[in-house]
Structure 1
Amino acid sequence: MRILVIEDDQMTADYIARGMSEAGHVCDVVADGRDALFHATREQYDVMVVDRMVPGLDGLSVVKAIRAAKVKTPVIFLTSIGGVDDRVEGLEAGGDDYLVKPFAFSELLARVNALARRPPVQDQKTVLRVADLELDIVRRQVMRQGLPVDLQPREFTLLEVLMRAEGRVLTRTMLLERVWDFHFDPKTSVVETHISRLRSKIDKPFDIPLLHTVRNIGYCLHVPR
């Protein structure tokens, strides 16, 4: 899954991002409500985790704005504001769930997974397709030519990122940020190793390769012409 976390407390944000990454999810973190609104309306996320008290534009206003913009991404409020009226206000603003700080990460993860398992709202994309390759985000399944493809969690996330960017080249740096949440170069071959493993599973057993290396730039998933 790809998750947007709106949280201005750095320690909390890092804690959530690290836990989600270990669970095999891609986690984008923003600390400002206006930046969050920009991301939420221009990128596709499976779930949003929103703190109500963030600078720029508070979390409640962010959720109201994305709902007005017809963004239907499930939202869980994660906040220290926990009165009954506050919870009601959050849900009426367009939130789908509400968790009060302090919290256990295991509960947050369970709630995020539960939101992702909900029946998709109309026009929300939970199944990605490129040619005969299909990735089901909710069921965590990958098929090619109707045959199951067994992927490890990180390989699944890597493929999801590549499929969402179908036809566009993603650089090594972009993949490190979106798949591993590395905002620096770890000086390892982790990207190349996972690309090689992914290619051996989704391409080598089949006739037409979909995962392509763009020399000195990055990688791209598309149907060759």
Structure 2
Amino acid sequence: MKLLIVEDNKLLLDSLKTILETEYTVDTADNGEDGMFFAEQNIYDLIILDVMLPYVNGFDIVKQIRKEKIKTPVLFLTAKDALEDRVKGLEYGGDDYLVKPFQTPELQARIKALLRRSGSLDLDEGIKYKGIVLTGKENDVLINEVPIKLTIKQYDLLEYLIQNNGKIVTKEQIFDRIWGFDSDTTIAIVEVFIHQIRKKLEPFDFHKDIQTVRGVGYILKDY
């Protein structure tokens, strides 16, 4: 699971990253302009978004990504607790609203609730596609109830494909999601890992479900 936190309070931003990266991969931005850029990549399972940000405020970020048909759940995290602000945030396309100061367990519970609601997290905290089950525990994978060993990156890529099954994901989206914007490798690594996962799935005849969309990327769907 990959989260984006957009918060201009450096201490809070670092604290949230430290807390959440024990369970998730976390990207951060400390201003609205960078936050907008990251959010528009459409590679996150959840965005935690402050309202009062330099350059572009949180409301405008949500309005823009919703115009672009990006459905990533958004949790507003802000000191603005007036009813009209909460209503405004939800009307613009936010999914939940948590007012500062807050307790860490509440934040974690809100995150899991939004991930479950969006389908990124199943009730047993795993995700499934046909006979493939990703449990989320130490990168365990079961295929037709047979345990399969994947590397962390292989697991993350298969998870991303399953979360978006039936949808085309571009090579750029996969690269940014799995390796990150600051990676010193190249986008060619995506093809290498797709090949590796197909080999893992081949004994179970699921490898054909990872279909290449020529010149664009890949889609996971029934072959």
Given the two structures, how large is their TM-score scaled by the length of structure 2? 0.63
Q: Is the 8 A contact 1:3 1:45 kept in 2?
A: yes
- Mapped contact 2:73–2:118 kept (Cα < 8 A): no
- For the aligned residue pairs, the C-alpha RMSD in angstroms reads 4.4
> Relative to 1, partners in 2 of residues 1:127 and 1:10: Cα closer, same or farther, differing over 3 Å?
same
Q: How does 1:131-146 map to 2 (within 5 A)?
A: 135=134, 142-144=141-143, 146=144
2:112 match? 113
Cα distance in 2 between the residues matched to 1:45 and 1:97:
16
Percent identity between the two aligned chains: 32
Aligned residue pair count: 182
Question: Does 2:73 match 1:77?
Answer: no
Range that drifts further, 78-87 or 38-47? 38-47
Q: Is the 8 A contact 2:51 2:58 kept in 1?
A: yes
Q: Report the residue type matching 1:9 in the other structure.
A: N
How far is the alpha carbon of 1:175 from its aligned partner?
7.0
Residue 67 (structure 1) shift: 0.6
SS in 2 for 1:4: strand
Q: State the secondary structure of the residue aligned to 1:118.
A: helix
Cα deviations by residue, 1:78-113 (Å, 9 ceiling, x for unpaired): 001111111111111111100000111111110000
CA distance in 2: counterparts of 1:7 and 1:176, whole angstroms: 23
Structure 1: unaligned runs, 5 residues or longer: 184-198, 211-225
Q: Distance in 2 between matches of 1:94 and 1:147?
A: 39
The answer to whether the Cα contact below 8 Å between 1:76 and 1:99 also exists between their aligned partners in 2 is: yes
Letter matched to residue 156 of structure 2: E
Tell me how far apart the structure 2 counterparts of residues 148 and 53 of structure 1 sit (CA, whole Å): 49
Contact kept in structure 2, 1:141 and 1:148, CA below 8 Å: no
Question: Counterpart of 2:27 in structure 1: which amino acid?
Answer: D
Counterpart in 2 of 1:5? 5
**Counterpart residue identity of residue 160, structure 1:** D
Change beyond 3 A, Cα 1:67–1:164: same
Question: Structure 2 CA distance, aligned partners of 1:40 and 1:7?
Answer: 13
Instruction: Verify: 1:147 aligned to 2:129, yes or no.
Output: no
Q: CA deviation at 1:127?
A: 5.6
Is 1:128–1:164's contact at 8 Å kept on the other side of the alignment? no
SS at match of 1:3: strand
Paired residues of 2:42 and 2:72 also in contact (CA < 8 A):
no
| C-alpha contact 1:51 1:59 (8 A) present in aligned 2 | yes
CA distance in 2, matches of 1:78, 1:149: 39
TM-fit CA distance, 1:176: 8.4
CA, structure 1 residues 55+73, in 2 after alignment: closer, same or farther (shift >3 Å)?
same
Change (3 A) 1:177 1:65: closer
| Other-structure match for 1:50 | 49
Distance change in 2, residues 1:141/1:46 (3 Å): farther
Provide the rounded CA distance (Å) in 1 between the counterparts of 2:5 and 2:56. 14
- Structure 2 alignment gaps of length 5 or more: 121-125, 162-168, 183-195, 208-223
Post-superposition offset of 1:39: 1.3
Partner of 1:160: 156
Say if 2:2 and 2:44, in contact at 8 Å, map to a contact too.
Answer: yes
